[in-house]
């Protein structure tokens, strides 16, 4: 058994004994980044499409956590256990979603990226979409104008979806000078607050994986509006959720917030303290 196969068998645990075939599927996952916007956007996607959980990722690279079902719709399914990295799927849309709920441990980022990309290659996903965010206060002058949404795509995906991108009129993430004030010719990708976003993108470029990064500039605080903006941005491209009403605008999508969002900012002050 190869090392790569060994990693795959250890990391993904299916919910039941059914064989899962992700070949040709799109994989969507979040980066643990500023405001947790990517994770909130994935929450909206899972809750709206009522995606069933098909398995989970077992890895020592993430901070351990466990809790109740964040997408509970009744008292019966509220007791289901939820952990730090779970996989959801909808075969009719050829869609798989990996929700990551805890940060990557220090010095484990490279190993975690290798595990994710190994799993992507083993399963034959057609493309990977990483939802992320970046510090709004660290934008350069060009990024202050217009929409706060940006994208990046590896060459292997860019060649496939070039015409679609042109019709969407999206803005690609601007490169900045690697040595400001010294040399403006050498440009680099700069995603402050983006967690492993930049590194995973660079790894995907090197390994020929078709990957897109969709991100939003934001600040810490109430990031629910940012999550809606980012998931609309995703839906504008992949058309995962149909619009309601007569308008074709993606803003007309009726996203369903999960039940766990009711306690997003805690449960409030107890009245007995007054």
In this predicted structure, which of 140-144, 180-184, 203-207 has the lowest mean pLDDT?
180-184
- Give the model confidence (pLDDT) of 158-197 as tens digits: 888 888 888 898 999 998 877 666 666 778 899 999 999 9
- Give the model confidence (pLDDT) of 8-46 as tens digits: 445 788 888 677 899 999 999 999 999 999 999 999 999
Q: Where are the domains of the chain?
A: 10-273
Q: What is the pLDDT of residue 184?
A: 66
Could you tell me the pTM of the whole model?
0.89
Cβ pair 28, 97 in contact under 8 A: yes
Percent of the chain whose pLDDT exceeds 70: 89
Alpha helices (H) in the chain, listed in sequence order: 3-11, 37-49, 109-123, 155-168, 197-207, 224-238
10-273 CATH, one of 3.30.70.20, 3.40.50.10900, 3.40.50.2300, 3.90.1150.10: 3.40.50.10900
**Partners of residue 88 on adjacent β-strands:** 53, 97
Q: Taking all residues of the chain, what is their mean pLDDT, rounded to a whole number?
A: 88
Q: 30-68: string of b/e by CB count within 10 Å (b at 16+)?
A: bbbbbbbbbbbbbbbbbbbbebebbbbbebebbeeeeee
Helices 224-238 & 155-168, crossing angle to 10 degrees? 100
Distance of CA 77 to the CA centre of its chain: 25
| Average pLDDT of span 74-94 | 90
Of 237 and 164, the structure prediction assigns the larger pLDDT to 237
Q: What is the pLDDT of residue 165?
A: 82
Cβ pair 85, 17 in contact under 8 A: no
């Amino acid at each position: 058994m190869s090392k790569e196969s060994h990693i795959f068998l250890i990391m993904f645990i299916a919910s039941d004994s059914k064989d899962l075939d992700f070949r040709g599927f799109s994989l969507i996952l979040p980066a643990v980044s500023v405001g947790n916007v990517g994770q909130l956007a994935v929450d909206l996607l899972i809750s709206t499409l009522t995606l069933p959980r098909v398995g989970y990722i077992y890895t020592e690279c993430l901070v351990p956590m466990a809790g109740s079902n964040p997408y509970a719709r009744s008292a019966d399914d509220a007791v289901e256990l939820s952990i730090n990295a779970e996989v959801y799927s909808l075969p009719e849309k050829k869609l798989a979603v990996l929700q990551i709920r805890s940060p990557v441990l220090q010095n484990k980022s490279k190993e975690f990226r290798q595990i994710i990309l190994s799993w992507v290659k083993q399963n034959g996903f057609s493309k990977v979409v990483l939802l992320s965010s970046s510090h709004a206060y660290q934008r350069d002058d060009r990024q202050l104008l217009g929409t706060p949404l940006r994208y990046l795509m590896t060459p292997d995906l860019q060649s496939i979806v070039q015409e679609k991108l042109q019709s969407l009129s999206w803005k690609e993430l601007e490169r900045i000078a690697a040595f400001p004030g010294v040399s403006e010719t050498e440009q680099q990708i700069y995603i402050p607050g983006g967690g492993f976003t930049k590194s995973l993108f660079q790894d995907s470029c090197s390994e020929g994986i078709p990957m897109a990064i969709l991100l939003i500039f934001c600040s810490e605080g109430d990031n629910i509006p940012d999550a809606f903006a980012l998931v609309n941005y995703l839906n504008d491209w992949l058309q995962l959720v149909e619009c309601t009403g007569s308008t074709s605008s993606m803003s007309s999508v009726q996203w369903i917030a999960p039940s766990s969002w009711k306690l997003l900012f805690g449960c409030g002050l107890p009245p007995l303290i007054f």
